[in-house]
Chains A and B, each alone.
Chain A
Amino acid sequence: MALGDRWSNPFCNFIVDRDQDRCIQCQVCVNQCPYEANFYRALDDTVVSDHALCTGCHRCKALCPTSCITIRLNPSEFRPHAVWTERDIKNAYLQAETGSIILTGIGCDRDYPIYFDHILLDACQVTNPSIDPLREPMELRTYLGRKPEAVEFEFRDGKPRLKTQLYPQLTLEVPVMFSAMSYGAVNLNFCEGLSRVATEAGTYWNTGEGGLHPDLYQYGKHTIVQVASGRFGVNKDYLDVAAAIEIKIGQGAKPGIGGHLPGEKVTAEVSRTRMIPVGSDALSPAPQHDIYSIEDLRLLIYALKEATEYTKPVSVKIAAVHNSAAIASGIVRAGADIVAIDGLRGATGAAPAMIRDHVGIPIELALASVDQRLRDEGIRHQASIVAAGGFRNSADVVKAIALGADAVYIGTAAMVAVGCTLCQKCYTGKCPWGITTNEPSLAKRLNPDIAAERLYNLLRGWALEIKDFMGAMGINAIESLRGNRERLRGLHLTDRELNILGIKHAGE
């Protein structure tokens, strides 16, 4: 292709703006761009860029030693049209060229209301004292799992002993866990970072449906293993080594859609872990074909409990959809110890853009309705609720817990902590930040030591902030915040929305 042609794409999203007065032709941007948007032109000893190939990942900008690169949105605009946005036009062009489904990565990026941003938290003033978390103990410990109807004690040797046999529990020192991200979709360096930090920080990471790499068995006590529709990597050791087992019915980014790991990402190590041939596409069916009803789900839950001798909690993960509350009730009655609900904004490595952006409901509404339904039915204690999908900061976590979650899952936030800039190109397998790629030359960009440090810092920062929020509310144990919707107020919400969220409007 002639150079002239490569410059000719007028519809590119980004412009690589290079200050040639500062560019030293060191070519760091050239060797760092996996999409080959930057290249060296020997003719006049200049580094130039093909804007059409830029995905806006900012990798070149981040590593440029002279800060000579600025990535800009292409200011060239289509003729304004209130109905046909630039996204619609470009998508139509793309499909006219390819005739296929438009793929994307990360979570829904559309401008739907984020209810967390319309919920405000309470604080103590005068009539009840706030607590200084730096001076007084604050309890973030959370137990996930089925709780008994009542506890009975007996006195033995003059000391009270618990008579009731407790169900297996997960113990979280901070109510934030790492969401399911499969080895294959993300690489082993990232999995190692997650598993090390989960172990160190006293929380859990989730294998997703990619199986558990032998190197990570040592972190089994802080690992939730997933049993998904493809059953990749599921075997006895996998179940035995884990702290808990999660049955994946759906995920927020693509409710009702199975997984698709392209064959290019199935390297020898991935193939060994998933127990599939090298280079073969790993296709998870949309449903679990042995689960067509709550009764079927019960069979699998108890099959897994039997297989692990009732020593670990079983979680069921669903995407937040219209009937989440009724479905969650069924899941709890089927014997699940944890219900994980993944909202509309939950992310993925690859999903059809239309599904990602238009299917599911926001986690805030699903969470509130599930919690309320389980309370109304008197079965809330039979399972813990884990909320997922779109948690950006500690305030979101605190609000979710007050809405009724026991803990939350974070996925995107963890990726952002190690460099992700949400370029949404995970599905290409060429992640410039070395996260969602198994290409050895790219995967080594993620140093597991650095990843672990950064993830640990993120969790630590959030934990400190959660304690601050609790202190301000005069609460010294996170248990007292759970489902405590009285400490929440809505802003700019309709009566209907407030009703579903179960909160009052600010000022009430």
Chain B
Amino acid sequence: MKRVYPREEVCMGCKLCEVACIVEHSLSKDIIKAYKEERPRTLSRARVEEEGPVSFSIMCRHCIDPECLEACITGALYRVNGDGPVLVDPRRCVGCWMCVMACPYGSIELDSRNGRRVISKCDLCPDRRMPACVDACPNRALFYEER
């Protein structure tokens, strides 16, 4: 399946991928409204990791053998069509956050903004041809492709 792959050599840590992710997953999909009006503000599912000059954007790898899925006690995490993206059904998520513990990439965000503990993770932007972060990257440091 297609995944989002970072290219560390040309990631400049601008974090526009995070901005794009927030906007795409907001209610209004309007950048000003998403940041200034919508409360609680949407969480970014991509996160730029930085240490010195090294930086790259990391989000769910949609692993072949997802450890989060193994760890999920309610079946809230599921895989589309057996080998598609790993998604979460927030109605079934009980906020045990075992998946957060299990994810080797730290790509699952804790979400307790609405007074209820759930998780938030990359869904590869089902409404778009290209994930928002990939489109937003000004330096082609993100690729969406089969590997």
Instruction: Give chain A's interface residues, CB within 8 Å of chain B.
Output: 22, 24-28, 31-32, 63, 65-66, 434, 439-442, 444-445, 447, 449-450
Contacts and interface: CB of A to CB of B under 8 A. Distances in A.
A442 B20 CA distance: 22
Contacts of B10: 444-445, 447
Contacts of A439: 53
B12 A65 contact: no
B32 A66 contact: yes
Nearest to A440: B53
A65 B139 contact: no
B53 A441 contact: yes
A439 B53 CA distance: 8
Contact of B35 (A25, A32, A63): A25
Contact of A445 (B12, B32, B35): B12
B140 A28 contact: no
A96 to B, nearest CB: 37
B103 interface: no
Number of chain B interface residues as a range: 20 to 34
B19 interface: yes
B14 A63 contact: yes
B66 interface: no
Please name the 4 residue pairs, one residue from A and one from B, whose CB atoms are nearest each other, closest first. A440-B53, A24-B35, A441-B53, A447-B10
A450 B52 contact: no
B19 A65 contact: yes
Contacts, number: 59
A31 B32 contact: no
B53 A28 contact: no
Contact of B15 (A27, A66, A444, A450): A27
Given A65-B136, A445-B10, 7 more contacts: A22-B32, A24-B19, A31-B14, A63-B16, A441-B12, A444-B11, A444-B53
A434 B12 CA distance: 10
**A contacts with B: majority SS:** loop
User: A27, A65, A441 — which one has the most chain B CB atoms within 10 A of its CB?
Assistant: A65
20 contacts: A24-B32, A24-B36, A26-B15, A28-B14, A28-B15, A28-B16, A28-B19, A31-B14, A65-B20, A65-B136, A66-B31, A440-B53, A441-B12, A441-B53, A444-B11, A444-B139, A445-B10, A445-B12, A447-B141, A450-B139
A24 B14 contact: no
B31 A31 contact: no
Interface string B19-34: 1100000000001101
Nearest to B55: A441
B13 interface: yes
Given A444-B9, A444-B11, A65 B53 contact: no
B15 A447 contact: no
Contacts of A26: 15-16, 18-19, 35
Contacts of A28: 14-16, 19
Nearest to A26: B19
Nearest to A59: B14
A32 B140 contact: no
B138 interface: yes
Contacts of B14: 28, 31-32, 63
Nearest to B12: A445
Nearest to A27: B15
Nearest to A62: B138
Contacts of B16: 26, 28, 63, 65
B93 to A, nearest CB: 28
Interface in B1-15: 9-15
Nearest to A32: B14
Given A24-B31, A65-B31, A445 B139 contact: yes
Nearest to A447: B10
B14 to A, nearest CB: 5
B138 A63 contact: yes
Nearest to B35: A24
Given A26-B19, A63-B16, A447 B139 contact: yes
Nearest to B36: A24
Nearest to B23: A65
